[in-house]
Amino acid sequence: QQQVKQSPQSLIVQKGGISIINCAYENTAFDYFPWYQQFPGKGPALLIAIRPDVSEKKEGRFTISFNKSAKQFSLHIMDSQPGDSATYFCAASRGSGTYKYIFGTGTRLKVLA
Amino acid sequence: SQTIHQWPATLVQPVGSPLSLECTVEGTSNPNLYWYRQAAGRGLQLLFYSVGIGQISSEVPQNLSASRPQDRQFILSSKKLLLSDSGFYLCAWSAGEVKNIQYFGAGTRLSVL
């Protein structure tokens, strides 16, 4: 019940295309869903996050879509660029106590020039 | 502004040797602190977290231990390293009104030979 399942494991997209990464969770107590971007040899950096009271959040080319009834959320990268090539992790946490994250297994994105 | 420091950036240690990795946070007080390990090409596994000085919770049984001797200092240790301890170790912090958001350090690449 604590897992966050992420797919696909890897993704290749042409420059200008849309990259879509999906995550599913089981624990309905989760109330915070961030996405992190990680470049090789670096620590993950927060990209965008959403709470379950909204169905979509957009920041620039990055959009999170959230489906509370299906317990799924996804990251959409519009107009994907070679500089977006990185590993993306979704996560889920409860907004109290330890604020521990449960991370997905990651998606390695490659955007072809 | 808040910053997180992790050192060393890279470490090569023989099997059976001790380990000490240090993480410090600046610009905030009473942060939650976290140690993660990331195996090559894999997701982030939470090892330890701390909500205050001297308060350490372990997530998985292992050859490692953690300590928090000061409010903004988090140390990861081992008395005798195993080959399986190799990986990328990341420290993270969260604090303030938005403790959901975790900020990661640059990581330490540990190779046990």
Average pLDDT, stretch B60-81? 93
Contacts of B46 (CB under 8 A, 6+ apart): A100, A101, A103, B34, B35, B36, B59, B60
More confident residue, A97 or B26: B26
CA distance A46 to A59: 12
Nearest residue in B to A89, CA atom: B43
**For B32-68, what is each residue's pLDDT tens digit?**
999 999 987 778 999 999 999 999 999 887 889 999 9
Q: To the nearest whole angstrom, how far is the Cα of A80 from the nearest Cα of chain B?
A: 22
Residue A87 has pLDDT above 80, yes or no: yes
List residues in chain B touching A: CB distance below 8 A.
32, 34, 41-44, 46, 49, 51, 57, 59, 90, 92, 94, 99-107, 109
The whole-number pLDDT of residue A2 equals 74
- CA-based nearest distance B78→chain A, Å: 22
CA distances from B75 to A8, B3, B53, B71, B88 (A): 34, 17, 12, 12, 15
Instruction: Kindly identify which residue of chain B lies nearest to residue A103, measuring between CA atoms.
Output: B44
Region A76-90: mean pLDDT is 97
Share of chain B above pLDDT 70, in %: 100
Give the pLDDT of residue A92.
94
**Cis amide bond preceding A82, omega within 30:** no
What is the pLDDT at residue A45?
96
**pLDDT score of A1:** 60
Q: Which of A99, A103, A108 to mutate to test the interface with B (most CBs of B within 10 A)?
A: A99
Output the six-digit token pair for B1: 């502004």
- Backbone CA torsion sign across A53, B99, B76, B5: positive
Evaluate if residue A95 carries a pLDDT over 80: no
d(CA B20, CA A67): 43
Above 90 in pLDDT, residue B10? yes
Residue of chain B whose alpha carbon sits nearest to that of A98: B51
**Is pLDDT of A49 > 80?**
yes
pLDDT (0 to 100) of residue B39 = 82
Q: Which is it for strands B103-104 and B87-94: parallel, antiparallel or unpaired?
A: antiparallel
CA distance A29 to chain B (A): 14
The nearest alpha carbon in chain A to B100 belongs to A99
Which of the four pLDDT bands, split at 50, 70 and 90, describes residue A98? confident
- Residue A99 is predicted with a pLDDT of 81
Question: Which residues of A touch chain B, with CB atoms under 8 Å apart?
Answer: 32, 34, 36, 41-46, 49, 89, 93, 95, 98-101, 103-106, 108
